[in-house]
Structure formats: C-alpha cells, structure tokens
A and B are shown apart, each in its own frame.
Chain A
Amino acid sequence: NAGVTQTPKFQVLKTGQSMTLQCAQDMNHEYMSWYRQDPGMGLRLIHYSVGAGITDQGEVPNGYNVSRSTTEDFPLRLLSAAPSQTSVYFCASVRQGENEQFFGPGTRLTVL
C-alpha cells in the first residue's frame, strides 16, 4: 500500500491563480479530510468527506472547494489563490469504524 499520497510537494502561485491539490489513498478508506498548518497554529480542518459524493465544511472552508467522485481521491481546489492561503496542506484518511488516521506527506503552497 502506498498509503496517503499528495501531489505536488511544493507549489508557488500568483494571487488570483487557480490550482488543485491532489490527495489519493489506496486503503479503501471512506473518510478523507484536508487540513492546513500555519506557523504558531495547530492544524485546522478545511473540508472533509465521509464517502464518495458526500462532502462537508470544516473550520476554515472559505476559498476552497472539494469534490469526492471516487473513494480513492479527494482533491482540494483553490479557485482564486490569495496570500492568506500560503500554508502547508495535509490530507488524511481513516476507515469508518476504525480509529487511527493516516496523513499524507503534505503540500507546501506559497501564494505571492
């Protein structure tokens, strides 16, 4: 198993550009989520999904869109990037009914 994978590892955007951060897992986990990590703050939940076709907002959803068309993939879209979205983004997954959550290696995003 590759576990939770994220691409790209690093990305630099200009203000107003759009992009998609990719997240995939090969463990058949129903629950997937996106967090952002900023200096001096704990990880904060952006969006999550309990299964294909079902998504919901977390603590800091503004400026981000998600969709879940398959169990394996959970992409995070920035429609119009802003400097406030400069952060490290982590994807996580867990099988429903189980407890241990697994995190991807992260994507470091800089918005100029």
Chain B
Amino acid sequence: KQEVTQIPAALSVPEGENLVLNCSFTDSAIYNLQWFRQDPGKGLTSLLLIQSSQREQTSGRLNASLDKSSGRSTLYIAASQPGDSATYLCAPRDSGYALNFGKGTSLLVTP
C-alpha cells in the first residue's frame, strides 16, 4: 500500500518568503503526482500535475518537482502571499486512477 508523508505538517511564514513543501511516497511505481490546495471547509483545487516521466512543472509562482526513483516531490511557492494560506495536499496516482493522499501541510502566510 502506498504511504504518503508530507513534511512539515504545519508552517507559518511572513509574507514574501519563498517556501518548500515536501512530499515522500513509498512506492515509486506511480503514474503521475498531483498537488492540490484545500481551503477550510472547501473542496480540492488542482494546482499542478507532474507525469512520472517529468522532472518538474510550473504554474505562476508555483513549481513542483518529482524524483520518482527516490519517492519524493516538492512544491515550491515563490514570494508567498496571505492568499496562499491553505492546506496543500500531495497525491501520487497508481496505475489505476486511484489517488493516494498525504495528510497535508497547513500553511499560514501572515501579512
């Protein structure tokens, strides 16, 4: 069974900082990996998707990298803003369509 760990569990930073969220997974035989954002009481919003053959993917201030062989992915957020405050979820996908979720990193960006 795929085990997904996200570190840190919680993070509080002042506005403007660059930050890195870490995700590790135990089974490297993944099809792709998706990063989601979840605001309190809301659903999941897809941020980035990295195919297993890719090393990284970028969208605006967000950059996600994937090292499949070592079972790691990182989400880099540049110049953080208070609006980035949310929980970030990492979800590698196996050969079917099932996603395996970590517990998430709760991010607070203070003005």
Contact = CB atoms under 8 A, between A and B. Distances in A.
Interface stretch (A12-20, A61-69, A76-84, A99-107): A99-107
Contacts, number: 59
B61 interface: no
Interface residues of A, number: 26
B103 A48 contact: no
A43 to B, nearest CB: 4
Given A45-B99, A92-B44, A99-B34, 15 more contacts: A40-B103, A42-B100, A42-B101, A44-B101, A48-B97, A100-B46, A101-B46, A101-B99, A103-B43, A103-B46, A104-B43, A105-B42, A105-B43, A106-B42, A106-B43
Interface of B: 1, 4, 31-32, 34, 36, 41-46, 49, 51, 89, 91, 93, 96-104
Q: Please list the 4 inter-chain residue pairs (A to B) with the smallest Cβ-Cβ separation, ordered nearest first.
A: A42-B101, A103-B44, A43-B101, A105-B43
